[in-house]
Amino acid sequence: NFCLGAGRRRPCSLQRSRGPPPPPAMVAFRSVAALLAPGMACAQQAGKVVAEVSPRMPLQTCTHARGCETVPAAVTLDANWRWVHNKDGYDNCFSKDGWSPRFCPDGRTCAETCAIEGVDEEGYRTVYGVKAIETGVELEFVAQSGNVGSRVYVTDGEDSYHMF
């Protein structure tokens, strides 16, 4: 199975249905079944070549009653922009020709074989054109590397996305 996103095909093991959402009882059943089914889960491997150092930024939340408060936040780069390579080496799992049949004959094998790499501060700035500034982040349309554009998400600076 392949999921489509950002103009690329990427392997995935589950596809979202287009029908109405399942009833709560079915969601609970599926959750329990997933926990009890050993060996059925697969997930993308985290790379070990470059440690993730997300650009930090201040984020203000404002209410009429309390005014504005600054909370810590950061941005993280979309997975479609990151280096995906075999977890035990440096060979690309994805290239201009698509997914490598050697590492990604199917979604499960790809998730088990490939790792998605982190991005450090220099990589964010020079490769992707994303840099922290005093009041937030600055995004260059064309980075020093020649990459065009970037897609980032706001996080709490740790491990959760910030929902607006």
Distance of CA 4 to the CA centre of its chain: 14
Rounded to two decimals, the pTM is: 0.66
Task: For 70-112, write each residue's pLDDT tens digit.
Answer: 989 999 999 888 999 999 999 999 988 899 999 999 999 999 9
Structure tokens at 153: 């998400």
CA dist., res. 88 & res. 72, Å (int): 35
Across 14-66, where does the E strand assignment appear? 45-46, 56-63
